[in-house]
């Protein structure tokens, strides 16, 4: 086989065989196909697309490039969730202990944040002492003992995706539906869960802003998962404003704790219950959505979800007192209000702008080598639909020594205030199952 012929075939809109795709990825990872040829192939794929069979072949080739996480020593159905990336999305911090409290096995491998979206691992590391690197035996043993473990993705899981993603990032080929689907699903499949709930975000703060395209992505990922013998459900959810009020790291942990106590923001609580319902059903622990939801609500109200959170944090070396006293989490020295320029209703909060503000403060990264500051971030005071007076705080910027002015400006620009109240859109736009 020849890289040139494979590029030409895709450039001309022909279908590639699984063997051709597999060979191409294998040789790329082995360093036998140079970046410039892979870049040309990515652009051909971007323009011509991949059909379902080609996307499955690409996903499988990516999985084969690295090691699979072996969860076979964990009894029962292992459940996982994945969000395509959002601002203020701390659902894993709530769902992991909530599902474990309800009897599911949550063995989760998570990523760090990049750009305007935060990562679960960065958030967890803001808990004093919390270790996100566990050896494979320790990981499996903790899930068997506690019901939940969340670790950082290592270099050995799907190395081909890492290489390919870096190239997509600089060749304007990130936002291709089959490339996104193969990238996400290769990591989910390699991480071994039997049941996966996908949270596909749509709206201003999402990777895929248009709901129709989000549905197409959801459909494709569900099909890839099913083809690999996994149980998969996707929810298409709104990311037209940040989720909850807190955007950052320690502040998101504090908000997740409130949610586990049953007093979290409505949108965050609702999304956790919707995603959790599907996770519980896929795990075979509930026969219908109403029963699953009632069970999860009970865990939130009676303290079992919070107790599981403490047990989980302690098992990974973290200080479980964060659940009783969020004051022990890192705190930013400055809290600067961003005031409303006029009276009216909040009709839009550009999630991308708020995410960007958190990033310039140091809560996220511009480059993957950057360190994050756990203490800084943004806390919203008004969400879409809130009526505000002129001069009333819309949000607070939690800053240390950098980026405060720029962040304040970004947050102010993210808000749109109008004379009439907005139409509130549903949080869950659609569910894709089959
Ligand atoms: N997230 C991923 O992991 N891969 C993509 O291609 C896009 C979002």
**Residue from 59, 184, 187, 234 to probe ligand 1 pocket by mutation (most atoms less than 8 Å from CB):** 184
Which tens digit of pLDDT belongs to each residue from 374-384? 999 999 999 99
Q: What is the pLDDT of residue 367?
A: 76
186 and 121 both lie in a single domain: yes
d(CA 259, CA 93): 10
31 and 108 both lie in a single domain: no
319 and 335 both lie in a single domain: no
338 and 299 both lie in a single domain: no
Question: Which of the residue ranges 82-91, 106-115, 200-209 has the most confident prediction, judged by mean pLDDT?
Answer: 82-91
- Residue 134 pLDDT greater than 80, yes or no: yes
Residue 334 phi/psi, 5-degree rounding, is -115, 140
d(CA 35, CA 37): 5
User: What's the whole-number mean pLDDT along residues 256-271?
Assistant: 97
d(CA 204, CA 216): 18
Q: How far is the CA of 180 from the centre of ligand 1 (A)?
A: 5
Look up residue 285 and give its DSSP letter: S
User: For this structure, is 183 an active site residue?
Assistant: yes
Q: What is the pLDDT of residue 218?
A: 97
231 and 357 both lie in a single domain: no
Domain final residue, candidates 303, 323, 343 = 323
Atom 7 (ligand 1) nearest CA: 180
Q: Which of 168, 295, 308, 365 is catalytic?
A: 168
Q: What is the pLDDT of residue 101?
A: 98
* Within-domain flag for 405: yes
User: What's the whole-number mean pLDDT along residues 165-188?
Assistant: 93
Which tens digit of pLDDT belongs to each residue from 321-362? 999 999 999 999 999 999 999 999 999 999 999 999 999 999
Q: Which of 65, 110, 183, 204 is catalytic?
A: 183
CB 328 within 8 A of CB 128: yes
d(CA 420, CA 426): 19
The response to whether residue 207 sits with its C-beta less than 6 Å from ligand 1 reads: yes
User: What's the whole-number mean pLDDT along residues 174-188?
Assistant: 95
- Residue 258 pLDDT greater than 70, yes or no: yes
- Split into its structural domains, the chain has a count of 3
- Residue 114 pLDDT greater than 70, yes or no: no
311 and 361 both lie in a single domain: no
**Average pLDDT score, the chain:** 95
Q: Which residues contact 108 (CB under 8 A, 6 or more apart)?
A: 80, 81, 92, 96, 148, 149, 150, 151, 191, 193
d(CA 105, CA 433): 21
Per cent of the chain over pLDDT 90 is 89
Domain final residue, candidates 286, 306, 323 = 323
Per cent of the chain over pLDDT 70 is 99
User: What's the whole-number mean pLDDT along residues 255-268?
Assistant: 97
* Within-domain flag for 99: yes
Domain final residue, candidates 323, 352, 383 = 323
CB 363 within 8 A of CB 397: no
| Ligand 1 atom nearest to 174, measured from its CA | 6
- Residue 72 pLDDT greater than 70, yes or no: yes
119 and 230 both lie in a single domain: yes
In this predicted model, which residue has the larger pLDDT, 330 or 118? 330
319 and 343 both lie in a single domain: no
Q: How confident is the model at residue 369 (pLDDT cuts 50, 70, 90)?
A: confident
295 and 369 both lie in a single domain: no
Domain of residue 123: give its range: 78-323
Which one, of 384, 411, 383, lies nearest residue 397 by Cα? Answer: 411
| Ligand 1 atom nearest to 165, measured from its CA | 6
Which one, of 341, 343, 339, 338, lies nearest residue 388 by Cα? Answer: 343
262 and 311 both lie in a single domain: yes
Q: Which CATH number is 395's domain given? A: 3.90.1170.30
Which one, of 304, 320, 319, 294, lies nearest residue 97 by Cα? Answer: 304
Which tens digit of pLDDT belongs to each residue from 25-58? 999 999 999 999 999 999 999 999 999 999 999 9
d(CA 5, CA 275): 44
């Amino acid at each position: 086989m020849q890289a040139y012929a494979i590029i030409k075939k895709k450039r001309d809109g022909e279908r590639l065989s699984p063997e051709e795709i597999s060979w191409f990825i294998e040789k790329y990872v082995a360093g036998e196909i140079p970046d410039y040829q892979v870049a040309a192939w990515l652009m051909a794929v971007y323009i011509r697309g991949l059909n379902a069979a080609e996307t499955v072949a690409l996903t499988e080739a990516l999985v084969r490039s690295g090691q699979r996480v072996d969860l076979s020593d964990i009894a029962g159905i292992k459940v996982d969730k994945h969000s395509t990336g959002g601002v203020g999305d701390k659902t894993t911090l709530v769902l992991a202990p909530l599902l474990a409290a309800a009897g599911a096995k949550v063995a989760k491998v998570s990523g760090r944040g990049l750009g305007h979206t935060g990562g679960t691992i960065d958030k967890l590391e803001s808990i004093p002492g919390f270790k996100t690197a566990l050896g494979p035996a320790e990981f499996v043993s903790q899930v068997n003992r506690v019901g939940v473990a969340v670790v950082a993705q290592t270099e050995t899981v799907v190395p081909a995706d890492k290489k390919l993603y870096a190239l997509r990032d600089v060749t304007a080929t990130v936002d291709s539906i089959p490339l996104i689907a193969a990238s996400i699903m290769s990591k989910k499949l390699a991480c071994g869960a039997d049941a996966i709930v996908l949270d596909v975000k749509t709206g201003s703060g999402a990777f895929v802003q248009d709901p129709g395209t989000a549905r197409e992505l959801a459909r494709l990922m569900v099909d890839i998962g099913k083809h690999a013998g996994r149980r998969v459900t996707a929810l298409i959810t709104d990311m037209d404003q940040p989720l909850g009020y807190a955007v950052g790291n320690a502040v998101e942990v504090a908000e997740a704790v409130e949610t586990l106590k049953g007093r979290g923001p409505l949108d965050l609580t609702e999304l956790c219950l919707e995603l959790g319902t599907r996770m519980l059903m896929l795990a075979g622990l509930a026969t219908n959505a109403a029963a699953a939801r009632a069970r999860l609500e009970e865990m939130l109200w009676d303290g079992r979800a919070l107790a599981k959170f403490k047990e989980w944090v302690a098992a990974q070396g973290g200080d479980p007192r964060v659940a009783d006293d969020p004051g022990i989490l890192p705190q930013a020295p400055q809290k600067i209000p961003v005031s409303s320029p006029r009276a009216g209703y909040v009709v839009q909060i550009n999630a991308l702008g708020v995410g960007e503000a958190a990033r310039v403060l140091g809560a996220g990264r511009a480059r993957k080598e950057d360190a994050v500051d756990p203490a800084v971030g943004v806390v919203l005071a008004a969400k879409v639909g809130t009526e505000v007076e002129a001069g009333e705080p819309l949000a607070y910027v939690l800053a240390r020594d950098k980026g405060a002015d720029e962040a304040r400006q970004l947050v102010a620009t993210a808000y749109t205030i109008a004379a009439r109240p907005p139409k509130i859109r549903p949080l869950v736009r659609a569910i894709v199952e089959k």
